Amino acid sequence: MSKRWLREKKRDYYYRKAKAEEYRSRASFKLKQLNERFGLIRRGDKVLDLGAAPGGWMQVVKEIAGSSGFVLGVDLAKIRDFGLENVKSIQGDFTRKETIEKIKEILPSCDVIISDASPDISGVWDIDHFSSVELCRSALSIAEEILKPGGNFLVKIFQGEHTGEFFGEVKDRFTYAKMTKPEASRTGSAEIYVAAKGFKKRFIYA
Ligand SMILES: C[S@@+](CC[C@H](N)C(=O)[O-])C[C@H]1O[C@@H](n2cnc3c(N)ncnc32)[C@H](O)[C@@H]1O
């Protein structure tokens, strides 16, 4: 069995499973597995989902957080409306100030921030890694603004030379942080997730 064969088989399996269970994306299973392992999202949580289209992770958050929870998805692409009061989305670039202002209007504070955002792939590994780290840092800086003390954080990163540095930045701000890869993540893919719990809010005095 070649690596490629295994990779395609796994991809096919989760693709069919997502269709059968009416998830908008295969990625739903990654969040399910990560949440089972780390308990990042709980019933009643308010969750910000960055890079959320087409909405597979939002569906999983909706299930876990339940009707007393809330999820706001943000993506460059439009996210098809779920028609629910507690599931909202914004179309925009979360690295930009105007989008962050819109996020804060809807969600001035939240319990969990998750990001599955992937940059446009250039094919040049260093560039793609660097763009991914930039997205991760934007997610972390949004956390500084709206994540509640004790809150949780999950972010996807394309591995490369700055992964360790970014992980250090996360470790400084949370009581627990771990680099991890869910089973549903493609075999051989360079993506990895940073899961962190217990946000240590720093109070900034003007
Ligand atoms: C792998 S997909 C997310 C899949 C999603 N978790 C799901 O389960 O349906 C990555 C997304 O990141 C989004 N993205 C990348 N950069 C972004 C940015 N700066 N602002 C908002 N979304 C971004 C892309 O548009 C893409 O839809």
What distances in angstroms separate CA 119 from CA 9, 67, 82, 130, 200, one per listed residue? 25, 32, 25, 9, 28
Task: Give domain status of residue 187, yes or no.
Answer: yes
Q: Residue 177's beta-bridge partner residues?
A: 196
Residue 104 is part of a domain; what is its CATH number?
3.40.50.150
Two tokens, residue 126: 């260093």
| 3-state secondary structure (DSSP) of residue 89 | strand
Matching residue, tokens 């392992």: 37
Task: Give domain status of residue 204, yes or no.
Answer: no
Output the pLDDT for position 204: 59
Distance, CA of 185 to CA of 50 (rounded, Å) = 18
Reported as half-sphere exposure (CB side, CA atoms, 13 A), residue 101 has a value of 3
24 CB under 6 A from ligand 1? yes
Matching residue, tokens 């997730």: 193
Task: Give domain status of residue 205, yes or no.
Answer: no
Residue span of the structural domain in which 176 resides: 3-199
Task: Give domain status of residue 206, yes or no.
Answer: no
What distances in angstroms separate CA 178 from CA 34, 39, 93, 154, one per listed residue? 11, 13, 27, 10
Q: Could you tell which of 28, 64, 71, 118 is best to mutate to test the pocket of ligand 1, judged by most ligand atoms within 8 Å of the CB?
A: 118
Q: Residue 70's beta-bridge partner residues?
A: 46
Task: Give domain status of residue 70, yes or no.
Answer: yes
Task: Give domain status of residue 45, yes or no.
Answer: yes
pLDDT digits over 34-56, tens only? 999 999 999 999 999 999 999 99
Output the pLDDT for position 203: 60
Annotated active-site residue 156? The verdict is yes
Strands 147-158 and 191-199: antiparallel
Q: How many domains does the structure of the chain reveal? A: 1
Task: Give domain status of residue 140, yes or no.
Answer: yes
Distance, CA of 144 to CA of 62 (rounded, Å) = 24
Least confident window among 3-7, 72-76, 202-206: 202-206
Residues in the chain: 206
73 CB under 6 A from ligand 1? no
Reported as half-sphere exposure (CB side, CA atoms, 13 A), residue 119 has a value of 21
Task: Give domain status of residue 25, yes or no.
Answer: yes
Output the pLDDT for position 185: 86
Residue 188 phi, psi dihedral angles, 5° rounding: 85, -10
Looking at the predicted structure, is the pLDDT value of residue 134 above 80?
A: yes
| Prediction pTM value | 0.94
Letter for the amino acid at 139?
A: A
Mean of pLDDT over the chain: 94
Distance, CA of 170 to CA of 196 (rounded, Å) = 7
Q: How far is ligand 1, taken at its centre, from the CA of residue 205, in Å?
A: 33
